[in-house]
A and B are shown apart, each in its own frame.
Chain A
Amino acid sequence: MTAVRCIDLCKTYRQGDQDIKALDHVSLEINAGSFLCLSAPSGGGKTTLLNAIGGLDAPDSGEVWIAGRRIDHLKKSELAQLRLMQIGFVFQAYNLIPVLTARENVEFVMQVQGLSAAERVRRSSAILDEVGLSGLENRRPAEMSGGQQQRVAVARAIVSHPALVLADEPTANLDSRSSDELLRVFVELNRKYDTTFVIATHDQRVMGYARRVIKMLDGRIVDDIEQHAD
């Protein structure tokens, strides 16, 4: 089963009088259950690619398929539904709703999905515990450190057991112990539910957990390595 298929994606940004090719003929196939790491120096095109896969930004040309369905031409509302039900997101820059507590942020997606309160509490408690945030459930984002916020975002991305998790620098603000803990949660989820993980990072430790590492440079895939995770 193919979880994600990208065919010949191109995306060009204009900056001043200069064209920047953020995606330059990217073709890629990701099997369901993959644990994949997207590695590139800053500006390499990781976020742009994740946004295209997640239906957040349409490529200039090329096709994006998720679970056998072409998505790059879907309507806004169809894309919203797809993201809600099938994809868990950890964004690079901005993740949490400031007026909601940690628990409420984690429950947000489930609530929009329409899960019952009991089910939400059960799952959010478990996941907050797993990412090491028990006791902080009722804090708002402004009352948490960057690393704690990041873990809330990760918890939200995986709590509803989506088929695909797109995580953009999920360990950026974490010390090595916390990021190890987080990655172990990812791995366990990947094993247990066959969740597909696509993680953009330039963190070497993250790459250690991945079974496949794709290296990008200036919007092009320059390397694609299968490896055995530890």
Chain B
Amino acid sequence: MRLLRIVATLAWRNLWRNRRRTLIMVAAVSVGVWAMIFMNALMRGMVDDMVRSGIESLPGHVQVHRLGFRDDPSINNLLPLNDAELAAKLDAAGLVAWSSRINVPAVITSERESRGVTLYGIDPERERKITFVPNSIVAGRFLEGVSDKGIVIGRRLLDALETDLGKRVVVMSQDPDNEIADRGFRIVGVFEAKLESYEETMVFAGKSTVQRMLHVADRVTEVAIMSDDYRFVEQTVQTVRDKLGADVEVLPWTELNTYLASMLTVMDGFALVWTIVIFLALSFGLVNTLVMAVFERVREIGLMLALGMRPFGILAQVVIESLLLLLMGLALGTLLAWLSILPLQSGIDVSAVADGMEMFGSSSVLYPKLTMADVVLANVVVLGLGFIASLSPAWRASRYQPIEAITKV
């Protein structure tokens, strides 16, 4: 313990012997750490945005279907439970939000054009807590109840159908007896989505209206459920499974959209690789600085050894010196990252430089997301690998021969 004190004192003072060199190194480490954290925050923000909008565009955090629905999403795969039974079970489950829907493939026809779409019969009140659509209406209004007779379609579909708000369209699908089921709707609202394909293929109508059109009474095809945080949905999945029994399929969004889910893993991998790459760049400077510092001190290191300090004491000195330097850089770099991310929380508009971004389901405004995990990652990587990197110069220093140091004049 007392040895550690003198060793730490020596390390600290030696650090300030070549003030310029130390400050340059601290600055380099700070910038590196800033780059680690800032870049990771940007990427996290982007991925987070992607995941959120992915989840908002209908899946929710957890979905319930009849077994087989995902292979054949049609009217033949209705959930075995009707609306009342679902409500009885799910309302008692203490969920953040849930909503049942009926969704089927359909054809929508205006007086000029027709298009293949997915028709969603929804409960507008409940959907407000789950999907983006109620908040993305750009003309007209959103649906006003399960029996609303209107239809809400995307801006691009509106253009493709060469029709307009207030006009009528015909939606055609099949009922469970494979008979044609169709109905006319007035277009009451138009929405925009981040993804073009959503605007082209999703149309929304009142749930009861659609149920009547398809002759399915009070049955639905899908339930969407929200939990507190998209990263932790397992508990919700379990709760719903327990409530609804084994003849339905309860899946988290990570399995409904594996591409989206893989983004999270990819992001974690990216953060680690990026952090390590930056560190590797830093480590050359660090090791070089240490080697130089140690080389300049051949004599005093020899002297300390001659006086009876063990080689370990020398090793510890160099390692501690390196860690002190890194710690200063880390503190400064983390602060810098925090300070630079703080004012950007409200979003960076990158539409000018990132035209293609929307293709990946990300918006053109980036919201950098500073996470504790990334800060910890940067600190752990820098300290951990820094420790390892400083071992080699430290080891070399501890192998010095005392005799060399004290006899040379």
A: residues with CB less than 8 A from B are 47, 51, 54, 56-57, 76-77, 80-85, 87, 89, 91-100, 104, 108-109, 111-112, 114-115, 156
Could you tell me if B406 and A81 are in contact, using CB atoms closer than 8 angstroms? no
A–B complex contacts, Cβ < 8 Å, 22 sampled = A47-B407, A51-B403, A56-B406, A57-B403, A77-B310, A81-B308, A83-B307, A85-B308, A89-B306, A91-B406, A92-B406, A94-B406, A98-B17, A98-B300, A99-B13, A99-B14, A99-B17, A109-B307, A109-B308, A111-B5, A112-B3, A112-B307
Chain B: which residue is nearest A54 at the CB level? B306
Q: How many residues of B contact A (CB 8 A)?
A: 29
Q: Tell me, rounded to whole Å, the shortest Cβ–Cβ distance linking B318 to chain A.
A: 14
Find the A residue at minimum CB distance from B405: A94
Q: Measured between C-beta atoms, what is the minimum distance from A100 to chain B in Å?
A: 7
- Contact between B299 and A94, CB atoms less than 8 A apart: yes
Binding site for A on B (CB under 8 A): 2-3, 5-6, 9-10, 13-14, 17, 299-300, 302-311, 313, 402-403, 405-409
Q: Which residues of B contact A97 (CB under 8 A)?
A: 10, 300, 303-304
**Which residues of the other chain, A, contact B13 by a CB distance below 8 angstroms?**
99-100
Closest chain A residue to B13, Cβ basis: A99
- Among B302, B306, B313, the most chain A Cβ lie within 10 Å of the Cβ of B306
Taken together as a complex, chains A and B put the C-alpha atoms of A128 and B38 apart, in Å, by 54
Q: Is the CB of A80 within 8 A of B310?
A: yes
Q: Evaluate contact between B6 and A92: CB separation under 8 angstroms.
A: no
Q: Are A112 and B10 in contact (CB under 8 A)?
A: no
Chain A residues with CB under 8 Å of B409's CB are: 92-93
Contact partner, B2, options A81, A89, A96, A114, Cβ 8 Å: A114
Assuming A98-B300, A99-B13, is B311 touching A114 (CB within 8 A)?
Answer: no
Contacts of B311 in A (CB 8 A): 76-77, 80
Could you tell me if A112 and B6 are in contact, using CB atoms closer than 8 angstroms?
yes
Question: What residues on B are CB-neighbors of A85 within 8 Å?
Answer: 308
Most chain A beta-carbon contacts within 10 A, residue among B5, B13, B406: B406
Chain B nearest CB from A93 CB (Å) reads 5
